[in-house]
Amino acid sequence: MKIKSKSKKINKSWLNDHINDPYVKLAQREGYRARAAYKLKEIDETLGLVKPGYCVVDLGSTPGAWSQYLRRKLSPAGAAHGELNGHIIALDMLPMAPIEDVHFIQGDFREESVLQELNQTLDKVYGSQRVDLVVSDMAPNLSGIESADAARIEHLIELALEFSQKRLKPEGALVVKLFHGSGYSQLVKLFKDHFHVVKPIKPKASRDKSSETFLVGMRLKQALE
């Protein structure tokens, strides 16, 4: 296996950590495409976000671990196949291998035409009703320039929030990924301006070395038409 990097030592260290990661091993055993499934699982089990009959939008879905978790949670039998009590619409710029009963849209969430397709799909599968939950694992390609990266992250979160204001039920919830550092406190304030309940969470499956964390907003203060 060839590793292309400016620092082979760093890559070998990461690879070693990855191979020995208990969540990687657990994901392989339980059939998840990525260890990220356990991040959403802990957030859901902590706050009780996913319930039978829900319509959920999964933004930044590829490779599909979050959609897999949602699919199992909305299955009466907790299964990866068979009956599903709810709807899941997933979206990502990159292709995603099919998951039974998950409607996947490939496109850039920042583009108006892709957002329009997402809204049309929701209208088709769920009618004009608002959705119950929006989860976003979207993250930009980081440049290493803190101010530029913070702006890109903030833009994606603002787009997810705007979409949620238009499509979430008043009692619905939005989960987004963000990073500690420049702009973090402003994003927490943004959520507090728009949701009655705001919960920052760093799941155990999120590596200690990473500045990655998650923000959950529940019960919109004001929906947009």
**Residue 177 bears catalytic tag:** yes
Q: Which of 4, 51, 177, 192 is catalytic?
A: 177
Nearest to 54 by CA among 82, 80, 33, 75: 75
Q: Which residues contact 110 (CB under 8 A, 6 or more apart)?
A: 155, 156, 159
For the chain, list the strands marked E by DSSP.
Answer: 55-59, 87-92, 102-106, 131-136, 168-179, 195-201, 212-220
The CA distances from residue 59 to 28, 34, 48, 181, 198, in Å, are 23, 16, 19, 23, 19
Nearest to 59 by CA among 208, 195, 176: 176
The CA distances from residue 124 to 1, 58, 112, 180, 225, in Å, are 45, 17, 18, 38, 18
Q: Are strands 212-220 and 168-179 parallel, antiparallel or unpaired?
A: antiparallel
Instruction: Compute the distance between CA of residue 25 and CA of residue 8 in angstroms, rounded to an integer.
Output: 24
| Catalytic residue IDs | 177
